[in-house]
Amino acid sequence: MDLAEFLLSASICLGLYVILSIFWPLLAGGAGYTPTPRGKTKRAMDMAQVGPRDFFYDIGCGTGTVLTEAKKRGADVVGVEIEPLRWLICRLRVSGARVILGDMFKVPLGNASVVFLFQYPNVNKRLKEKLGRELKPGTRVVSYAWKIDGWKPTMVVEDLYLYTIGETESV
Ligand SMILES: C[S@@+](CC[C@H](N)C(=O)[O-])C[C@H]1O[C@@H](n2cnc3c(N)ncnc32)[C@H](O)[C@@H]1O
């Protein structure tokens, strides 16, 4: 194999990996990859009033779009991502963030003051139980795109849903 053939094969493999990586988190019980649009990210920060005293988690953090915004607001930020390429990009992109390569269902969330999620309705259903069990009263949860069925939001702006633990669960 000459250099040109090697580079072509490597590019094809990388391209295939990138395409597959968008979808394979579905096998781990989470959403595939789509980043939250920047305008929505800023609005989510405003809704949850993210600031320097916050411990902010994005569970399924992708390439770090949301973490970047939370960091700008002065929060300590933690991302959890199951797909290695996005995890690596996020780590390189968001300096000072703790970015965990792993399954969001297995990472403890007890020290969070704000949790952001952009998953699918059936995933939110599974996460609801974990969030309700682990988060402290007063913790804000922002879900983009899909509400958390069975919880009453404290604020809704377009397709962003804000929940406050202790006020929203008993619906
Ligand atoms: C719709 S994207 C959202 C990305 C990012 N939060 C944002 O809003 O820009 C969902 C992300 O969750 C990740 N994901 C899916 N299942 C996961 C799991 N079980 N643990 C950790 N991450 C997961 C996917 O790899 C993907 O990057």
Give me the tens of pLDDT residue by residue for the chain, a chain 171 residues long.
888 988 999 888 888 877 877 777 777 788 989 999 999 999 999 999 999 999 999 999 999 999 999 999 999 999 999 999 999 999 999 999 999 999 999 999 999 999 999 999 999 999 999 999 999 999 999 999 999 999 999 999 999 999 999 998 765
C-alpha of residue 2 to centroid of ligand 1, in Å: 38
pLDDT given at position 68 = 98
Q: Give me the residue spans of the domains in the chain.
A: 3-164
Other Cβ atoms less than 10 A from the Cβ of 6: the count is: 10
Report which ligand 1 atom has the smallest distance to the Cα of 24: 25
C-alpha of residue 35 to centroid of ligand 1, in Å: 9
* DSSP letter assigned to residue 159: T
- Out of 118, 124, 142, 144, mutate this one to test ligand 1's pocket (max ligand atoms within 8 Å of CB): namely 118
pLDDT given at position 25 = 76
Comparing CA positions, the residue from 83, 54, 63 lying closest to residue 142 is 54
Task: For Cα atoms 4, 10, 12, give the angle at the middle one, nearest 5 degrees.
Answer: 105
- Whether residue 171 contacts residue 148, with contact meaning beta carbons closer than 8 Å, is answered with no
Residue 150 φ/ψ region, left for φ over 0, alpha for ψ in the -120 to 50 degree band, beta for the rest: left
- How far, in Å, CA of 155 to CA of 160, rounded? 8
What 3-state DSSP class applies to 66? helix
In Å, how far are 30, 67, 88, 130 from 93, measured between CA atoms?
23, 10, 8, 28
- How far, in Å, CA of 114 to CA of 50, rounded? 8
- Whether residue 80 contacts residue 104, with contact meaning beta carbons closer than 8 Å, is answered with yes
Look at ligand 1, atom 11, and give the residue with the nearest C-alpha.
60
Look at ligand 1, atom 4, and give the residue with the nearest C-alpha.
62
C-alpha of residue 166 to centroid of ligand 1, in Å: 26
For 25-39, give the DSSP string.
Answer: GGGGTS----PPPHH
Question: Which residues lie with the beta carbon below 6 Å from any ligand 1 atom?
Answer: 25, 28-31, 33-36, 58, 60-62, 65-66, 80-83, 86, 103-105, 118
pLDDT given at position 170 = 61
CATH annotation of 3-164: 3.40.50.150
pTM value > 0.85: yes
Report which ligand 1 atom has the smallest distance to the Cα of 61: 6
